[in-house]
Structure 1
Amino acid sequence: MATSLKNLSEYSQDKFTDISDKTFGIVVAEWHDDITSVLCQGAIDTLLKHGAQKENIFVNTVPGSFELTLGAQFLAMQEEIDAVICIGVVIKGDTKHDDYINHAVANGLTIVSLKFNKPVSFGLVTTNNLEQALDRAGGKHGNKGVEAAAAAIGMLSF
């Protein structure tokens, strides 16, 4: 769904389960850290809002969005981790690098989720420019980190 049609910070919590005993791994790309830090905080705040314990939220960083896949796998392979939330930003540039990274991350995170039978949420902001990324990091389109955390909770409630 196009972000312009939906606020990323709005979600249904009707079917959310109790997550007070769940453990979450968050992997955050350091590239564009001014944006990813806001996305990560949105994810953490959402988890806490719905009952996650602060001591059960583990944040790890990777250099860039391409590395989210391996970071997610490192977290997912830990038995105590119930769900993984991935946070990153890829902004279109002069070349097609964004297409390759976005495709690799989407496929890689799907594979990790299926391999470990755990929710691995896609908190990757993929935009044409910096303004659009800021709009999705607490700006006029909400916070993609909130959406990623809500997706993880929703999948744990499945």
Structure 2
Amino acid sequence: MSRLSILVLHGPNLNLLGQREPGIYGSVTLEKINQQLLSLAEKLQCDIACYQSNHEGNLVDTIQEALDCHDGIVINAAAYTHTSVAIRDALAAVAIPAVEVHLSNIYRREDFRHHSFIAPIVVGQISGFGAQSYSLGLQALVNHLQTQT
């Protein structure tokens, strides 16, 4: 059996982690999150590719390009979670199992953050555990993929 390949997508403003509203998003940088994920991926015996963009179209393109390259997607679409039908449609189109993650608990925040266009089409959603949300999402996705084969 070949190693699983997971795409980790980070949406807008996540490149500012560590300096952006640390009371909400914590002090861990995106680079550190990616390093933690790479280490965890080795333990889980899977490969990951991490990508961040502030641009909706770039995220859509990357999701579409994942079709022939990746077995699963961990996505923090950030603000696009609540606004982007395009990202939702791209995820639905490729039909690659995905897990939605958020650093903060979106349901304890402003009302507009309570709706996710992505949630209805993903395997699951993890929010509120800071940087650990990514690790939990990766573990859950790998477990899901391994039990589906």
TM-score by length of structure 2 reads 0.56
Q: Return the match for 1:40 from 34, 38, 42.
A: 34
- For these two proteins, the number of residue pairs brought into alignment is 116
Once the two structures are superposed, residues 53-102 of structure 1 have per-residue CA deviations (whole angstroms, 9 ceiling, x without a partner) of xxx422222127x678525524433x0211122236x5xxxxxxx6xx43
CA contact (8 A) 1:109 1:122 kept: no
**Counterpart in 1 of 2:81?**
102
Partner Cα separation in structure 1 for residue 104 and residue 61 of structure 2: 19
Give the equivalent residue in structure 2 for 1:120.
98
Match of 2:72 in 1: 83
- Asked if 1:50 is matched to 2:47, the reply is no
Residue segments in structure 2 that go unaligned for 5+ positions in a row: 19-28, 111-126
> Residue 37 and residue 134 in structure 1: after superposition, are their counterparts in 2 closer, same or farther (change >3 A)?
farther
CA distance in 2, matches of 1:120, 1:75: 15
Letter in structure 2 aligned against 1:63: N
Residue 71 and residue 47 in structure 1: after superposition, are their counterparts in 2 closer, same or farther (change >3 A)? farther
Q: Tell which has more relative contact order, 1 or 2 (C-alpha 8 A, sep 6+).
A: 1
The CA deviation string for residues 90-140 of structure 1, in whole angstroms up to 9 with x for no partner, is 5xxxxxxx6xx43235x66554443212112212224549xxx99612xxx
| SS of structure 2 residue aligned to 1:81 | coil
| Structure 1 unaligned residues grouped into runs of 5+ | 1-17, 91-97, 138-142
1:74/1:134 CA distance change after superposition, 3 Å: same
Deviation per residue, 1:31-74 (Å, 9 max, x gap): 4332433433333332221112xxx422222127x678525524
1:136 matched to 2:108? The reply is no
Letter in 2 for 1:123: V
Higher relative helix content: 2
Superposition CA RMSD, Å = 3.4
Structure 2 matches for 1:62-81, cutoff 5 A?
A: 62-63=53-54, 69-70=59-60, 72-77=62-67, 79-81=68-70
Q: Give 1:61's aligned residue.
A: 52
Q: SS where residue 103 of structure 2 aligns?
A: strand
- More divergent stretch after superposition (147-156 vs 68-77): 68-77
Cα distance in 2 for partners of 1:134, 1:36 equals 16
The answer on 1:22 being equivalent to 2:7 is: no
- Same amino acid, percent of matched pairs: 9
